[in-house]
Structure 1
Amino acid sequence: MRKICLIGCLLICSALSGIAQINTGRFSGMGGSSGTKPDTSQHSLPPDTLTLKYYFLGDPTPHTIDSAANDFSKYLQIPAYYHTLGNNGNAAQSLFFTPRMQDGFDAGFHSYDIYEFNHDNARFYFTTRPYTELQYLVGSKQEQIIDAMHTQNRGERINFSFEYRKVNSPGYYQNQSSNHNLLRVTVRTLSKNKRYHTEVSWYSNKINSGENGGIRSDTFLTNSRFKDRLTIPVNVGGPATESATLFGSSSMNVKTAYKQSGILFSHGYDWGKGDSIEINDSTDYYQFDPKFRVQHTLSYSSNTYEYLDIQPDSAISYYSQHYDFAPVFTNKQLEALHKWTILSNDLSVVQFPLRGSQAQFIKIGATFETIKGSFPDVAVNFNNVMLHGEYRNLTRNHLWDFQAKGDFYTAGVNTGDYSLTASLSRYLSRTLGNVKLAFRNVNSEPGYAFRYFQNTRNTWYNYGLNKQNYSQFSFVADNPRLMYNLSANYYIFNNYTYLKDFYHPAQAPLFNLLQVMFTKQIVIRKHLNWYMDYAFQQFQGNTPFHVPAGWTRQRFTFERTLYLNLNLVTGIEVKYNTPYFADTYSNIFGMFVPQDSQKISMNSPEFDAFVNFRIKSFWAYIRGENLNSFFAKNNYAAPSYAYPNFLLRVGLRWAFVN
């Protein structure tokens, strides 16, 4: 602990000593409007001004980087309502029941989605100056996280960005270490006459997570002999000690290893009208407003999902009990391996009815997919043909936003899959804020892992699974002035596919779910704030699933600006959820499994204390987590999966503007 504090202090002092050289002026203009503006190179702007915004693929709405310093979960990139299997980087699940509302082919592995880079969350930036962001976190038990991001424009027509994320955490218990490496590059280009544009997204994810099957008995947590949690016996992996280094190879006796990579190239040509606008006597700006676009998108992805146990003999009873393996093993390793490659070709046409607005468009297109799967003994090949259409209208005054979108698979392995989405958003006033209504209906094949799963000990075939059909009705009210957000979701599920035990799939009959979430900030006094998060969930109908009926997070903070530039945020954070039958975990399948034999009850709320501060474009945070472990037994995330003891985390974040 002293070592962590010393490292944190040295890093903070080092950063503060150089902050004046990095930031010679104010850090302003973090956002920009979505309208067309004259070309402004970095040499024509004041030396202390930055305009930085980003877009997601296919979405014209601009976003800005969050510079707040009061919510640590944004730095950790795991939402506060998620829980892991006991260590950062292990399989993670939302405490809110969250179905996968997507049609088309699905391999079926989603327990690590929260960590992964993909094309959907890729950011395409526009910045008036080169911008770099670095983040480093060090925590108890040698936990380390490194984040790096850089983006810059070459004039108005070319932008590229680079992102790297490293998660390395040995954890508190045996065989639960994690070692993730994620890399992404995006490029956006625009021709000189602004008619031809390209977007390129490439990512690579290497996820390695130890699998220990949980601890063998709850009694170890209260036994003084096992005060060091690393000595507690676990179900899988044996007593061997793992080695995990930040940039070297990590030795894991039992692990889940995902390797994912993908590249997307999208390009289009526009027809429309251009005009030269005179900025001053010596400068003209060429503005082009597209009217019609032809767009082609080509993407390729390769995904490998592996479970590997190099010493399965040490867990014979565990595998025999949960997977019906023979009680006598050979020395051969246990491995489950699924590999998928997907090649997708899409051709679309887009019309922009209103000149000067790319936020109103009509889009139709067709996609052809080639899907190949390989397993230890067999290989499969599929094709898909999908038609899609979309209408979007964000009015110029931003008061109304309407979107309707639909996909339909007309041929191939996913024939009959479809997705229909519609949303209507209205800005009412500063007092009433913004309200949104949305509807979604998805019809899809279950994930392939539910239909066929192979490992070196057994092969499971599952026939007769029907298509899943999910409907979602949503309401959102957001009010920045009154500082609250209210959202409600009502789901209707039919044939929801899940594992009814560690390897048998099943489909649940018709059932419903109501979710209500509410967040609110209250200014108690001038510098005292109370941030409240509440959630309520309730199932209706015959369902095997369980969720906490109530969840809350309460943050009490003291926030004040000192010495003109020091923004201080310090306080406590409390999280609590009502007792419920939390899902267990099938480590070979990599899926969470409903159960109704062991109710998970928090012995006490989770208590965290923190000190965060920001100086211009430098952030630092110090957190003491799981303070409740000093006076109560460890809480549980799932049956046999206990949370760690007290955690100390020290983190730094820098932003550089060149």
Structure 2
Amino acid sequence: MTYKKLLAAAFLVWLGTYFPASAQILNDSTKAIYGSATTNVIYEADIFKGNLKPSRIDTSLTNLQNFRHWYYDTTLQQNLGNVGTASQPLFWRMPTKLGNRLGRNAFDPYVVNPYTLPYYDTKSPFTFLNYMQGSLGESIFRAKHTRNVTANWNVGIGYERVGTERQIGAFSNRNGMISHYGIQAFTHYFSKNERYRLMANFNQTSHEQIESGGIRPQVGDSVENLFDYTDEPVWLQKAATNEKRADFHATQWYKLLGAGLQLYHTVDVNSQNNDYSDQELPYDTEGNNRVLKFYPQTLRDSTRTYDDSYFKQLENTFGVMGSTKYFVYRAYAKRRDGSYKVTAEGGDYIDQPNGEDNWVYYLDQEKRTIADNFIGGDAQFRLKNDIYVTTDAEFQIGGGDYRLNAQARYKFLTLRQTRTSYSPSLLQRVFISNHFEWFRDFENTQATQTAASLEAGYKGHYLNAQLQYTNLQNYVYYQDSLQGGKTVWATPAQETSGINLVQASVRYKFNVKSFVLDNTVYYNKVSGPDVIRMPEWYVNSKAYVQGPLFKGAINVQTGVEMNWHSSYYAEGYMPVTQQFHLQNTFLVTRYPTLDLFLNTDIKTVNLFLKLSNLNTVTSAWEQGYFTTPYYPANPFSFIFGLQWNFYD
């Protein structure tokens, strides 16, 4: 049997319905005037590199079935086991922002990055719809519409929604867990002589997560017995996190002497508000005492919690830049102003002169102002696309933050050296709530990193290997307990001893005719104080067949994807602060999980079908696995998704 017949058979089994081939074949006389070839995309970073040529939009099927490729941060993440939940990168990453930064990033993967938002150049109105729906209630919906008003002016709008049903907790069957909404507006304009150019976007999001605190184990329970999902008790019954963000970002350029000398200005206006509430704090009766559970303590109210965080900033960057065939440069000055405020609501009974008690509410708050100044720049010398040297630097004036970076590439090999000093986040320095309170004066963290990468392709083979060594000094983290035996976990601390990280990855992909095998292996090694947690090994492997069917009317990818990581003490999650923190009692293990998928396109529609976490229905002993201590990953789910492009 030929590979085309195999693909056709797999396709028909997945869909369960036979589509006559003749219905899928386009009439040879029908010519599409508009399509992916007339819809182009360009990014702000392209302009800074001197590249004014937009590229075609991506309509490929590869990774269509993978959740993380539907998010704005496509790296591997540690989350709470469900779509849209709080997460952090699975592997350590160096911060890229200097000076004051908020430090609440648990929902970053679901929020548009205004610096990397795509802008369009369309010959016709372009609309695309993204939709994903799982049998456990997980769903993602995105819609975007953009069009050229004139040949040199494009405008667009977007809308998105993420929803998830709760899978753990005896009371939570089919109840909503995640509710995310977002809107975007963006525009790209350049004058007819291309001396002036503007890129601007506005994004607003609202993200609500119903907090469970994870599974609450009962006496005698082992980790292997915590996979009853909706029958498992949880710690929190009436707790929720709400986050609202608004971002306006705009950059404009003006050519003084052609492309070689340009002035530019970037303005960013950002706000992020977070609140955490729990209307029923968890208590147990032990003997004659009423004992608080899950939280370390109550500082303001013994019955409920209402905490808020408010962050806003205005940043202006003024610079000069230019590009030639062999040289690109930029120099700038940056000013950042803003404020950070945390509040905690409390209540207590106050004795009155008449002997009666009166319940009085009060509000505690702490506020810090932001006033940062920076200078910086970057330059790139390039002989060809695969031979170049890049340098960039940024310094905080009147502060200790800085970044120095140099990178050289010669054909397949890239070498990079980075040295940075960055401040602890605002959250790590100042926080008050009903359960925590700290005022820290930490030293800057210093990071020195040496990295090398190799990327090459030949015929049906592709190799990408990366290796980096990082030395950290004065690293700030969230600990599992304070010194002296008093257990107050999830609070910030600083490690003054040096920490060394070795991180490596190798991706090898090859294809023989229609068969594709794509394997990626990650390796992480931490030496020194045990305050950074990553799995030592992580493996992602995909094997699939691909090719056209029905005389080229459609393309199909169908196969299996496997994920596995070695056991490690993954960080726990504290919803009050939205931070992951060290813990030393719960060993997170994982067996190889399998997903069976089918990706296909039918004209302008890309769609996929996926059997997720297939192990839980094919093996009696593999009931599930945990992504974060006491947060199990979703069990088996049948998932459907599509991406539909309209070009008129």
How many pairs does the alignment contain? Answer: 579
Whole-Å separation in 1 of the counterparts to 2:284 and 2:331: 54
Instruction: Check if 1:435 corresponds to 2:421.
Output: no
CA RMSD of aligned residues (A): 3.1
Match of 1:431 in 2: none
Using the alignment, how far apart are the partners of 1:150 and 1:437 within structure 2? 40
Residue of structure 1 in register with 2:564 after alignment:
576
Q: Deviations over 1:153-211 (max 9, x none)?
A: 33442122333221101131246811111222221111233212212121112111122
Secondary structure of the structure 1 residue equivalent to 2:106? coil
Give the distance between the partners of 1:526 and 1:536, measured in 2 at CA: 31
Structure 1 residue 154 corresponds to structure 2 residue 149: yes
Number of the residue aligned with 2:357: none
Q: For 2:18 and 2:272, how far apart are their aligned partners in 1?
A: 39
TM-superposed CA distance for 1:459, in Å, is 2.7
Q: 444, 466, 469: which one pairs with 2:443?
A: 466
Q: 1:11 & 1:447 partners in 2: Cα distance? A: 55
Distance 2:134 2:587 in 1: 30
Change (3 A) 1:80 1:266: closer
Tell me what 2:640 maps to: 650
Alignment partners' CA distance in 1, 2:101 and 2:426: 6
CA displacement at 1:479 relative to structure 2: 2.0
Taking a change above 3 Å as real, the CA distance of residues 114 and 63 of structure 1, as seen in their structure-2 partners, is farther
Q: Once the 2 structures are TM-superposed, how far is the Cα of residue 18 of structure 1 from its aligned partner?
A: 11
Tell me which residue corresponds to 1:76. Answer: 70
Distance (Å, rounded) in 2 between the aligned partners of 1:496 and 1:256 = 28
Q: Contact 1:83–1:637 (CA<8 Å) still a contact in 2? A: yes
The residue type paired with residue 106 of structure 1 is R
Q: CA distance change for structure 1 residues 76 and 290 in 2, over 3 Å: closer, same or farther? A: closer
In 1, Cα distance between the equivalents of 2:18 and 2:185?
29
Query: Counterpart of 2:296 in structure 1: which amino acid?
Result: D
Match for residue 419 of structure 1? Answer: 403
Secondary structure of the structure 2 residue equivalent to 1:582: coil
2:469 corresponds to 1:498: no
Q: Deviations over 1:122-169 (max 9, x none)?
A: 222333443222111111222221011233333442122333221101
* Correspondence for 1:483: 462
The answer for the alignment partner of 2:354 in structure 1 is none
1:455 and 2:433 are equivalent in the alignment? yes
Q: 2: CA distance between counterparts of 1:638 and 1:299?
A: 34
Query: Is structure 2 residue 388 aligned with structure 1 residue 401?
Result: yes
Partner of 2:296: 324
| CA-to-aligned-CA distance 1:68-118 (integer Å, 9 cap, x gap) | 213122643264732320110111133222232331211111222222112
Match of 1:445 in 2: 423
Distance 1:447 1:641, change over 3 A: same
Give the SS at the match of 1:534: strand
TM normalised by structure 1 equals: 0.81
Q: Structure 2 matches for 1:86-485, cutoff 5 A?
A: 86-174=81-169, 177-217=177-217, 219=221, 227=228, 229-237=229-237, 253-272=238-257, 289-313=258-282, 320=292, 323-326=295-298, 330-331=302-303, 333-352=304-323, 354=324, 357=325, 360-376=327-343, 377-395=365-383, 397-411=384-398, 415-427=399-411, 434-463=412-441, 465-481=442-458, 482-485=461-464
Residue 230 of structure 1 aligns to a residue in which SS?
A: helix
Structure 1: distance between partners of 2:248 and 2:435: 34
Gaps of 5+ in 2: 1-13, 344-364, 481-488
Q: Which residue matches 1:641?
A: 631
Pair 1:321–1:394, CA change in 2 (3 A):
farther
SS of the residue 1:111 aligns to: coil
C-alpha spacing 1:182/1:46, structure 2 compared with 1 (3 Å): closer
2:330 alignment partner, SS class: strand
Matched to 1:139, the amino acid is G
Distance in 1 separating the partners of 2:404 and 2:81:
37
What does the per-residue CA deviation read over 1:495-541, in whole Å, with 9 as the maximum and x for residues that have no partner?
11111123321122211111111111222x43222111111111122
Q: For residue 425 of structure 1, what is the amino acid of its counterpart?
A: R
Deviates more, 1:558-567 or 1:472-481: 472-481
The Cα of 1:297 is off from its aligned counterpart by 1.9
1:592 counterpart = 2:576:
no
- Measure, in 2, the Cα distance between the counterparts of 1:12 and 1:546: 50
What secondary structure does 1:114 align onto?
helix
Equivalent position to 1:538, from 515, 522, 525? 525
Instruction: Quote how far apart the aligned CAs of 1:64 are.
Output: 4.7
- Checking the alignment, whether the CA contact within 8 Å between 2:34 and 2:647 is kept in structure 1 is no
Q: What TM-score results when the alignment is normalised by the length of structure 2?
A: 0.82
User: How far apart are the structure 2 equivalents of 1:558 and 1:394?
Assistant: 39
The alignment-based identity, stated in percent, is 21
Structure 1: which amino acid aligns with 2:178?
A: S
- Change over 3 Å in CA distance of 1:326–1:198 after alignment to 2: closer
Q: Partners in 1 of 2:285 and 2:647 — Cα distance?
A: 56
Cα offset, 1:382, TM superposition: 2.4
